[in-house]
Chains A and B, each alone.
Chain A
Amino acid sequence: MSARLKILEHALASMARRKQKNFAIIAVYTLTVATLASILFLTQALRNEAANVLLGAPDLVVQRLLAGHHDLIPKQYAEQIAKLPGVGKVTPRVWGYYYDSLKKVNFTLLGVNDASEPPLLAGHLPTSGRQCALGRGIADTYGVEIGDSLVLVDSKNRTLLYEITGLFSHQSSLLTNDLILLPEAELRRFFALPDSQASDLAVQVYNEQEVSTLAKKIKHQLPDTRPIGKMEILHTYDTVFNWRSGIMLTIFSSALIAFCILAWDKATGISAEEKREIGILKAIGWETSDVLLLKFWEGLAVSLSSFLLGTIIAYLHIFFFGAGVLGPVIQGWSVLFPKFDLTPAIDLYQIFALAGLTIIPYIACTVIPSWKNAVTDPDSVMRS
């Protein structure tokens, strides 16, 4: 058996003598790594999901601003925009919100014209006036299915019944959870929207390199508009799920501070028992390098075990148990929150960075105080 293995054996035996303390450290360390890794996995998965599905978003959305806020846009703006070189189809979108004070939730009502069936829809899109298609979140919350009727109160306080002809599948919940689709003409009647206006315009741009130039041209020709490019939409979600933002930063920094306290506690000194052990080892002939190797093994055993265990727990938490603990933090006050069925999007760089940020400082915090004692006279170490 090589000397290094013997030292490892001694290190593990030494840790076993202080098993309560070491188990406590491993438990806290594992929890810290699991929290940090859960945040990284969750945000990366959501960012990946948004980046992939929102690639299909309109190249440019043109809103009209009136008195500083979003207002209806005249359809003639669409004709003006369509004349610009490089612009393809300009589609007026009709949509709005419907607030339910019982559930305290905003539903998004969207008008559809397209007769072709979209993917991930069971049943079919509404074709006649009194039909609708719903997102899975609404169907699950209210326990309804195809063939039932949705009862809404329109802008003139009339109660209207819409037969449910289609339900979106769970796979599209991140997009359609609270969505209610109605035929566009019916939605106009429902909200009492004039035919000459739309909620906003979806603009197709042939060359994506020209989107920002076209946005400037539209803003110049129609100064009361606000063009929003697809890249801005993607950037919004990239920033929302960035680990540096908002609530994520709060949890991330709390976990990091907890880890720093743990490491600081290790770095600021070792116990009298550990000092005596180092003194005895030195007195019976151990070299300083042997003592440092012993402490290195101890640090590595704790940090590597905790890192592996914490990362596995985080993975299972996010991708097998639907982010059960972290999910409600992201959910906030949202009532119709989609069920998380996230696709793993692991960035190995992040895992290595997490390993580097947690394992190396801990080992350093274990070895450095021991080195201070190991280079001191064994007699004075044992007497101190």
Chain B
Amino acid sequence: MQRSLAFGAYLLFSSLLLALLLYSGRQQADTVAEHYFPANRQLVKQLGLTDLSIWSEARYTRHPSQADLFTAFQDYPGAFDHFPAGSIIGPGCLQGSPSLSFQKRGQP
């Protein structure tokens, strides 16, 4: 009897924990929907943004919805590079000095 009680208690505890997490997630989503989504939507509208700033390594990954028709993602978004050459040609060695830097306030 002890084992089944312990098992029942474990199931009850984990079910309640999961329910609590889902409920708190719901509350959090409601807060975000009320405050941050409208603010972000307004930002997108004002600046005329079209894409999420997730992958900044290439043009067609930074703006997948605006990419040229012949880029990999334009066959269907999320597609792997469909040209066999993509798996053979490695990234090139870039020459030159860094083109972006910052100057701290008050420093020459």
A residues with a Cβ closer than 8 A to B are 1, 5, 8-9, 12-13, 16, 49-50, 52-58, 61, 63, 65, 68-70, 91, 93, 97-108, 110, 112, 114, 116, 118-120, 135, 137, 142, 144, 147-153, 161, 171-179, 181, 200, 202, 226, 228, 232-233, 236-237, 239-242, 245-246, 248, 301, 304-305, 308-309, 311-312, 315-316, 319, 330-338, 343-346, 348
Contact B14 A332 (CB under 8 A): no
Nearest Cβ on chain A to B106's Cβ, whole angstroms:
9
Contact B68 A171 (CB under 8 A): no
Nearest Cβ on chain A to B38's Cβ, whole angstroms:
8
Tell me which residues across on chain A come within 8 A of B55, comparing CB atoms: 331-334, 337
Contact A245 B103 (CB under 8 A): no
Tell me which residues across on chain B come within 8 A of A346, comparing CB atoms: 22, 25-26
Contact B102 A144 (CB under 8 A): yes
Nearest Cβ on chain B to A16's Cβ, whole angstroms:
7
Contact B47 A120 (CB under 8 A): no
Using A56-B41, A148-B104, A315-B25 as known contacts, say yes or no to A108 and B53 having CB atoms under 8 A apart. Answer: yes
Contact A151 B68 (CB under 8 A): no
Nearest Cβ on chain B to A308's Cβ, whole angstroms:
4
Contact B21 A240 (CB under 8 A): no
Complex interface bits, B92-104 against A, C-beta within 8 A gives 1, otherwise 0:
0011111111111
Contact A56 B44 (CB under 8 A): yes
How long is the Cα–Cα vector from A311 to B18 in the complex, in angstroms?
A: 8
Contact B65 A55 (CB under 8 A): no
How long is the Cα–Cα vector from A148 to B101 in the complex, in angstroms?
A: 11
Contact B78 A152 (CB under 8 A): no
Using A100-B100, A305-B11, A308-B11 as known contacts, say yes or no to A245 and B77 having CB atoms under 8 A apart. Answer: yes
Contact A147 B53 (CB under 8 A): no
Contact A344 B57 (CB under 8 A): no
Tell me which residues across on chain B come within 8 A of A343, comparing CB atoms: 28-29, 32-33, 36
Contact B29 A344 (CB under 8 A): yes
How long is the Cα–Cα vector from A288 to B46 in the complex, in angstroms?
A: 70
Contact A319 B25 (CB under 8 A): yes
- Residue on B nearest A117 in the bound complex, by CB: B46
Question: A149 is contacted by which of B29, B36, B51, B103 (Cβ under 8 Å)?
Answer: B103
Q: Which 3 A-B pairs have the closest CB atoms?
A: A344-B25, A245-B78, A102-B98
B4 within 8 A of A: yes
Contact B56 A151 (CB under 8 A): no
Tell me which residues across on chain B come within 8 A of A135, comparing CB atoms: 53
B80 within 8 A of A: yes
